[in-house]
Structure formats: C-alpha cells, structure tokens
Structure 1
Amino acid sequence: MLDATLKTQLQAYLAKVTQPFEIVASLDEGAKSEEMLGLLQDIVSLTDKISLRTDGDDARRPSFSLNRPGGNISLRFAGIPMGHEFTSLVLALLQVGGHPPKLEADVIDQVKSLDGEFNFETYFSLSCQNCPDVVQALNLMAVLNPNFRHVAIDGALFQDEVNERQIMSVPSIYLNGELFSQGRMGVEEILAKLDTGAASRDAEKMSAKEAFDVLVVGGGPAGAAAAIYAARKGIRTGVAAERFGGQVLDTMAIENFISVQETEGPKLARALEEHVRQYEVDIMNLQRASALIPASSEGGLHEVRFESGASLKAKTVILSTGARWREMNVPGEQEYRGRGVAYCPHCDGPLFKGKRVAVIGGGNSGVEAAIDLAGVVAHVTLIEFDSQLRADAVLQRKLHSLPNVQVITSALTSEVKGDGQKVVGLVYKDRNSDEFHSLELEGIFVQIGLLPNSDWLKGTVELSSRGEIIVDAKGQTSLPGVFAAGDVTTVPYKQIVIAIGEGAKASLSAFDHLIRTSAPA
C-alpha cells in the first residue's frame, strides 16, 4: 500500500510513539477493505508499539479504530485516509501513542474540562484541503477528553450516508446526529461553539491588554509578514485575525511562490503562523473586526473593536483583512449554500460524482474548476457573463478538449432553483436575446472573483469604488498611523508573494511613523 519512501518517513514518525495501542479493523469482502488492510499491515510492520486486530464489528465497513488497551479513547476512520487525510492519520497514530500535541496549555485544559456527551461525525473528501483541520481537531479532542467520540467518514466511499443526509459540502460535521457545522474549523473554533462562555471571557482578556505599538488586523500572508517585521524591531506587536492564514487556507496548489516549487495553501498557512510564533507576537484568533475608531489626536491611540465585544488599542494599525469569494447575489443562492451551491471545487467536487454541475465564471479560477470537475462529474456547464472566456489560452484549449463540458457565454445567472432540500437547477438570461433559459443540474460552483473585506471600514478610511482601501506607495491610508496591505488594498495583482511584500512594507512604514511621532520636538 505504502511505497518505500513513505514507509521510511512514517517509521521515523512512529518512533515517537511511547504508549502501546491497537488498531481494530472492521472489514468486508470488498476491494476497499483489502486496500485498507494493506495500509494497516504496513503501519504495524513499522513499529512494535502498535498491534492490529481484524475482528471489529462496526457497521461502517471498511473502517478502523485506534484503541489504547484499557483506555477510553473513541477515534475511528471510516474509509482509507490517504490524500490530504494521510497527515490526519499520522497525527492520530502519534497522539493516541502518547506523543504530546502542539496546542496551547490553556486550550488543552479547556478541552479536558468540557462535560457532556459529544458524538461527532465528520464527512470529508480526500481532495479537500479544508477537511484535515476539522478531522485533526476532533481526533485530538477525542484523545484528550473521554466525553468525545469522533468518526471521520470518506463521503465518496459512503455515498448512501451522503445521499441520506443530503450532504453536498465538505467538511460536514454532525454532533449527536444533528448538523453542527460545515467548513474549516480548528480546535478553537469548535470550542467556541461548545463552550458558549469562552467568547465573552476571551473578549474581557483582550480588552484588558495594554496598547500595542503595532496592531495587525488580519492573519493572511500580508498580516504575517507585517507581524514578523514589526516584532523584529523589538516593539510590542499584536495580530487579531478571524482565521490565521486567510484565503491561503482555501487555495489548493501554489506553484508561483518564489523559492518553493510547489506547496499547498494550508501547508503554507501553517508555516506562516509558525514563523510568526517564533517572535514575541500576541496572536488573537477568531476575532472579526467590526469598527476602527481613529485616534483623537496626533500621537494618540487608535482603537479596533471586534464582533466578540473585545476592543484593542494601538499606536499604529495595519489593516490586512484580505478578500472573500464574490457571491452571485441571486435568489436561491443563500438558501442552497452547502446544499448544492459551493465555492470550492477541490473540496466538494467528489460529492458530485456522476452528477451534472455548473461552474459560474470564465476566468482562470472558473476554467480550472471546470477542468477538475470534468474528471469527476457526468457533465459540466461553464457559464460566463462576458462574450468570451477570460482564462489563459492554455487553460481554454484544455477546457475545449473535454467531451463532457459545455461553455455558455454572454449569460447572466439569475436564479438558483431547488426543491426545498437541494439544488435542482439554475436559470440564466441570454444577454444577446434577453431570453431566459433553465438548466437541470445538481451542483453550482461559483468562481467569479473576490470582494475586499472592508465593509467595517466604510466612513473611516478612504475606499475605492470597488471597496478596496486606498494606500500610497508606503502603505499609508487616509488616516495617519493606519496602514494597509494585501488583497484588501488598491495594490494591483492579488498574489501571495505581493501581499507578503506589501505587509513588510506597511510594517516598516508603521515603524517609521512611530519613530517620527515619538521623537522629541
């Protein structure tokens, strides 16, 4: 199952296992069970700390659990955790085997202190880059707290369950049989939903913090670079982010980040956060900014307020809140979001195997999505508003070579149709004839660009007609002492490498501002 190189790497990891445990497999006569058995046999051959039993009686087959003898851990994989989930498997093996997790001590204590019964099920796809965060978080919580049970389920392998629960987006998380959440979540996000008093406690702690020299709002590439450059100057630095990593977390393959030939978004996001944590930076996650209150006088303190109720003050502020997927804003889109309307073809594509779908948008993202989906679904209809596709020529040639793809240009998507439970079609208007047409399909993937996350700044800093923060060559906004960087600004070409450079520039500018405003007359 595993090649020689992967076996060697896995053996090095398994050397960190200190506590013996067993893998209990529930198998049937199918090919997937045989494949799973091969994987598990490879694992136990690499260490004497792990044993294998094949007499499991779980109803989901193939599946396997990780059990400490006499222990009370309930952690199971239903399916074969390869692809993006192989890292989840390795971490589960290490953590069940006694290797300490990389988690803040107060977060570990919070997980251990939760009372109740928490039976979690997570449906994932092997091509989903968002799913491992959820699987790894809930696996770890099951290791730390015996009140937690977790089953990670490959939706493509257990299609009957997916259809019964009408799951059209991954990760989909169920708690005690009811839908708990959809989309990327880490331990802190899950705790925030389970421990309802945690948010107010964190808000109180944040509001009591001393003023920062530099406060970075946003944790994407621009924010990470800004934080590092500020911290290296030896000044008091804070980062408040809704989710560290930003858009990068939703990016599949990255092949143009200079000096790194190829990587994936979540991997780069983790590296950015780890780099920031090498310095004395106060990182405050799960914090969505709601208002900026400018300093009342030169040299005074700016204030940033958050939806959690927290408030932070700083001598300078760097705004790096990035951008988000643009929505169609048509009837039915919000109603069927996660029930056929999707924004991540890599994540949710496998759930539409053999079905008919549409991709909205003819730029690079839309055409790439259509190409990827064509290898999974029965048929793809690409709908573009303009009279021609805007994607690179090489992508267009590939798209037009596929037999199960139809391209419709000069079309305005006007409505998402559903049956009350899921998407059944869409309506579009032919912009040449003004006639309306209907398409029967089961999935709609929206790929029509980005919107800057600047709504909370309207009336405070100067914005462009597109809602981008207007900055000068040094990253300065219309407010003295407030700088901005990354995709939320007017700087052209929304690229990771550009955002990192702009974040560094804004940070250096903020430091220069601090020197000049604090110098004696």
Structure 2
Amino acid sequence: MLDTNLQTQLKSYLENLKTPVELVTFTDESPKAKELSQLVNQIVELSPLVTAIDGNLSSSKSEQASNERVPSMLVRSVATGSEMRFAGLPMGHEFTSLVMALLHSGSHPLKLSAEQIEQVRNLDGEFEFETYISLSCQNCPDVVQALNMMAAINPLIKHTMIDGSLFQTEVFDRDIMSVPTVYLNGESFGQGRMSLTDVLNKVDKSAGVRQAKALESKAVYDFLVVGGGPAGAAAAIYAARKGISTGLVADRFGGQVSDTMAIENFISVKATQGPKLVASLEEHVRDYDVDIMNSNKASKVKRNEETGLIEVSLENGAVLKSKAVVLATGARWREMNVPGEHEYRGKGVAYCPHCDGPLFKGKPVAVIGGGNSGIEAAIDLAGLVEHVTVLEFAETLRADEVLVRKANSLTNVTIITNAQTTQVNGDGKRVTSLSYTDRSTDESHELTLAGIFVQIGLMPNSEFLQGDIELTNRGEIIAGARGETSIAGVFAAGDVTNSPFKQIIIAMGSGANAALGGFDYLIRQDV
C-alpha cells in the first residue's frame, strides 16, 4: 500500500503526535476493504501512539457499526474524543487529508488563527457534515481538511469524507454529479471548493459582518494586490521586497492553477501539479510581511480624486484603501452559453474532468472543445467512462498532433468537427442528452449521455470593472508595458489582461512587472 519512501515520510510526520489516536475500521471482504486494513496496519506500525480497533467487533460500538459505511475508517482522538471519518480509501489527493487528521487528532497544533479556532469552538448546535469527493479531485482536499479541522476543535461537529466512486448508490440517490459536494445534517450545503472561512460564513450568520468590520478597519496600504494566482503572488512578493506595506485580497489563493493537474512547461521544474505549485507560492508569499485576506471578492475599484487613494470595494461591503493597486483576478472556464447549461451545472455539466470524471464511470459523456484541454480531457475520461464524444466547433481540431493521434487510437473516443452545441437536455434532476447542429449540413442531432465536460477556453474575471476601467471587447484589462491601466495608480497582470498568451510563467513575470511599475509610480508621487 505505502511504499518505503512514503512510509518514511509518514513516520516523520507521526513523530509530531502528542496524544494517542485510534483508527476504528469497518470492513468486509471486498478488495478496497482489504486495502484499507492494510493501510491502517502500516500506519499503526509507524507510531506507538496509534492503535487499530476493529469496529465490526467492538461490542460498545455495535449499534454504530451497523450504521457505518463499508469500507470506512474513523480517526478518533483519545484526548478530546473528536472524530473524523473516511468512507473509502483516503489515498490519492486525500492522503494528505488523512495525515492531517492523524496529526490534529494527536494534538498537533492547527494552522489556524486564534480567532478562527475560537469561532469554531463557539458554534452553537450540532453539525454533521458529509463531503462527497473523488480521489482525483484537487479541490476536494481543501474542503475535507477544513471540515476535519472544525471537527477537531468542536466535539459537536462531525465530518465524513465519502469517495463517490465507491458509494455509487448514495451518489445516484442524492443526484451528486460534481465534487466536492457537501451535505450538512442531511441537507445540501454546497458544491465546489470551500475554505474554512467560507464554511463559517454560512453556518455562523454574524461571521460575514464581523469579517467586513475587521477589513474596514485596516490601515491604508502602500500596495494592494487583488487576486491570489501566480500573477498576484509574484506581485505581492516583489512589492513586499521593496519594504512597503503590502496586502493581498483574493477569493482563493492559487486561482485557476489550483484546478490544474499536470504542469510540464514551468521552466526549471520538469513536472509538477497545480495544488503543489500553489502551496509553494503561498509559502513563499508568507515568508514576507504580506497581509493575506482570503475568501474575499472585489466588487468595484475606483480612484478617489480627493485623496489620490485607490478604493477596492468587496462583496461583503468592506472597502480597502491603497496608494497603488495591482489587479490580478485571472480567468475562469468559458461557458457554452446555451439553454440548459446553467440549469444542469453540477448535475451533469462539469468543467473539471479530473475532479468529476470518476462520477461518470461506465457512462457515456461528451467533451466540448477540440483544443489541448479538450483532447486531454477525452483521453483521461476514456479510461473511466463508457464512451467519449468530442464536439469541436471548427472544421479541424486545435490540439497538438500527438494528442490527436492518441485520442484517435482509443476505441471509445469519437471526434466530431463542425459541431455547434445548441442545448443541454435533462429530466429536471440530471443531464440526459445534448443537442448539436452539424454546421456543414445544418442537420440537428441529439447525443444521449450522462455528462458534459466543457473545455472551450477562458473568460477574464473582470465583470466588476465594467465601465470603470478600459477593457478589450473580450473583457480583458488593457495593460501597458509597465502594467499600467486607464486608472492612475491601478496596474494589472496575468490572465485578466490583454496579454496574448495565458501561461503560468508569463503570469508570474507579468505580476513582477506590474509590481515594479507600481513601485515606480509610488516613488514619483509628491509627498
């Protein structure tokens, strides 16, 4: 199960345990259950503070055992009684979630602020969270780890991670077609990436007001970055290194890179994954005196002509002020903009094949888009689903020839060009088919399928700037050679700008350039 290298790493982590941890397993004779038992046995051998308990044989837990998912594992703190459950085998991206659950159950300090810990501890009521994930989903661990930390702090909070590919009946009964999907006390709570702050803002109704007040009281920054992707991170580092007060406000740190799996064109790093690169980026930014304000979205940016300050309004009502600002809000997946797309988003319409692909195991799906992203998605999905149909609007595919050859070699992949998607169809609960028009003949066709993966490029996150700053007809911020925009003191960088190439390494350079441009602007202002 765990190779020698992984065992060595895990053993060093488990040396941080301060109090005993129990691993209670609920298994049967299935292959996955046997793998779970093997994993637990290996973990127990690595630390004297970890013990294994067979939940099927525990007389004191017999009633509980009959209600447990199989295979599953309960991580229990002997010191506090906190419990975190893993229904399925927590490997892949979720192995980190298991390691953190072990550490936090063993009284290793949580990397949360004192205010956050106190807020979780004081939550009123009982909360039973369930998170449906896939082991290939890079967004899911953030949600699992946030809810697990809440369970470690407050004994009235329980959390279960559920591998959707192993518990298909539940997934079908609850119409789960996108991960992560979170339930609270049996009711739908949310979908997609969520931070601990996001969860607290939903369960603690006064949290958003308190957060807005705290942000409103912050002093004027010399330099404020809006966006936490590669461009924003680079801008923050370059600004902080100048010794000026620097803030970074972002919906989520990492941006779109967090949703990227294989990265093989980042110079000096032969191969890495998005979440790993994001972790390194955040660690680097935190090495400097940068005020990071996560889980906040900007709603307006304007220059106050009386004070000369740039005012950044947030969706929660707070207003941040700075002498110079860099906009690095990045981009998001482009939508098809056809009837049914929004109605069935998360119910068969998906944008991340790595995350949601396992939920469509053995079912027919379509991929919209014949560029590199679309053909890569088709190749990945082909190993999971019954059949993949690729629909490309143009006459020819835009993907690299090596990818096209690979896709054409797969017997369960069909590629259709000159295809204009016209409608997503469903039964009210989930996608059932897709309608498209053959552009060469004007004939209409309907594909019966269970899922649609949209891979047709990017849209800049610039809607909140409409009418206030000069944009291209595609919504990109027009940035000059130094990153300057049409508003004095406001600079821009990365995928949200009119840069012709949207690449991580280009975004980083763009962020550094905009920060230097911003600093040059600051030193030339009258005292």
Could you state the TM-score of these two structures normalised by the residue count of structure 2?
0.97
Code of the residue aligned with 2:5 in structure 1: it is: T
C-alpha displacement of 1:71: 3.7
User: Which residue number in structure 2 is paired with residue 302 of structure 1?
Assistant: 310
Is contact 2:438-2:445 (8 Å) kept?
yes
- Equivalent-residue separation in structure 2 for 1:237 and 1:70 (angstroms): 41
Matched, 1:162 2:171: yes
Aligned partners of 1:368 and 1:490: how far apart in 2? 26
RMSD: 1.1
Tell me which amino acid in the other structure corresponds to 1:463.
L
Ranges of 4+ aligned residues in structure 1 off by more than 4 Å: none
Q: Distance in 1 between matches of 2:293 and 2:76?
A: 35
Contact 2:393 2:419 (8 Å CA) reproduced = yes
Counterpart amino acid of 2:228? Answer: G
- 1:94 corresponding residue in structure 2: 103
Please tell me the residue identity of whatever aligns with 2:35. Answer: E
In structure 2, what is the equivalent of residue 372 of structure 1? Answer: 380
- Number of the residue aligned with 1:349: 357
What does the per-residue CA deviation read over 1:395-441, in whole Å, with 9 as the maximum and x for residues that have no partner? 10101000001111111101000001100001001111112111100
Q: Which amino acid aligns with 1:237?
A: T
Deviations 1:149-190 (A, max 9, x none): 011111111111111111111111100001101111121111
Query: Aligned partners of 2:129 and 2:225: how far apart in 1?
Result: 35
Moved more, 197-206 or 167-176: 197-206
Any conservation in 1 of the 2:215–2:318 contact (CA below 8 Å)?
A: yes
SS across alignment from 2:422: strand
Q: Distance in 1 between matches of 2:14 and 2:526?
A: 54
Q: C-alpha distance in 1, partners of 2:352/2:473?
A: 27
Q: CA separation in 2, counterparts of 1:21 and 1:468?
A: 52
SS of residue matched to 1:8: helix
For residues 40 and 526 of structure 2, the distance between their equivalents in structure 1, rounded to whole angstroms, comes to: 63
Say yes or no: does 1:452 pair with 2:482.
no
In the alignment, is the contact (CA less than 8 A) between 2:195 and 2:295 conserved in 1?
Answer: no
User: Which of 380, 390, 404 matches 1:396?
Assistant: 404
Asked if the contact 2:151–2:158 (Cα under 8 Å) also holds between the matched residues in 1, the reply is yes
Of residues 391, 396, 418, the one that matches 1:383 is 391
CA distance in 2, matches of 1:296, 1:460: 14
1:470-503 deviation line (CA, Å, top 9, x unaligned):
1111111112211000000011211111111110
AA partner of residue 12 (structure 2) = A
> Aligned partner of 1:17: which letter?
L
Mapped to 1, the partners of 2:261 and 2:121 lie a distance apart of: 33
Shift of 1:113: 1.2
Give, in whole Å, the separation in 1 of the partners of 2:447 and 2:377.
Answer: 19
Alignment equivalent of 2:232, drawn from 223, 237, 242: 223
| 1:220 partner letter | G
Cα deviation, residue 70, structure 1: 6.5
Q: Deviations over 1:418-467 (max 9, x none)?
A: 00110000100111111211110000000000000111111211111111
How many angstroms apart in 1 are the aligned matches of 2:152 and 2:487?
A: 49
Q: Distance in 1 between matches of 2:149 and 2:272?
A: 25
Match of residue 217 from structure 2: 208
Q: Which amino acid aligns with 1:35?
A: E
Choose the corresponding residue for 2:472, options 464, 467, 471: 464
- Counterpart among 244, 247, 271 of residue 262 in structure 1: 271
Which whole-Å deviations, capped at 9, do the CAs of 1:1-25 have from their partners, x for residues lacking one? 2111111111111111110121111
Residue 39 of structure 2 corresponds to 39
In structure 2, what is the Cα distance between the partners aligned to 1:87 and 1:59?
23
Residue 333 of structure 1 corresponds to which residue in structure 2? 341
In the superposition, the TM-score normalised over structure 1's length comes to 0.98
Q: How far 1:88 sits from its partner (Å)?
A: 0.6
Distance in structure 1 (CA, Å) of the matches to 2:79 and 2:12? 27
Q: Residues 345-369 of structure 1, C-alpha deviation per residue, up to 9 Å, x if partnerless?
A: 0000000000000000000000000
Report the count of equivalent residues: 518
Q: Which ranges in structure 2 are unaligned for 5 or more consecutive residues? A: 57-64
Q: SS state of the match for residue 438, structure 1?
A: strand
Residue of 484, 495, 500 corresponding to 2:508: 500
Deviation at 1:68, TM superposition (A): 2.6
2:420 to 401, 404, 412: 412
What does 1:76-225 align with in structure 2 at a 5 Å threshold?
Answer: 76-225=85-234
* Letter aligned with residue 202 of structure 2: K
The residue that corresponds to 1:2 in the other structure is 2
Partner secondary structure for residue 243 of structure 1: coil
Residue number in structure 2 paired with 1:13: 13
Q: Deviations over 1:324-357 (max 9, x none)?
A: 1101111111111000000000000000000000
CA contact (8 A) 2:21 2:102 kept: no
d(CA) in 1 for partners of 2:55, 2:253 = 42
What is the deviation of 1:251? 0.7
| Alignment partners' CA distance in 2, 1:398 and 1:70 | 54
- Secondary structure of 2:280's match? helix
What amino acid maps onto 1:32 in structure 2?
K
- Determine the C-alpha separation between the residues in 1 that align with 2:321 and 2:80: 47
Residue 260 of structure 2 corresponds to 251
- Provide, for residues 16-63 of structure 1, a one-character-per-residue CA deviation record: whole Å limited to 9, x for no partner: 111012111111121211111111000001111011111342431111
**Is the 2:19–2:78 Cα contact (8 Å) retained in structure 1?**
no
Amino acid at match of 1:212: Y
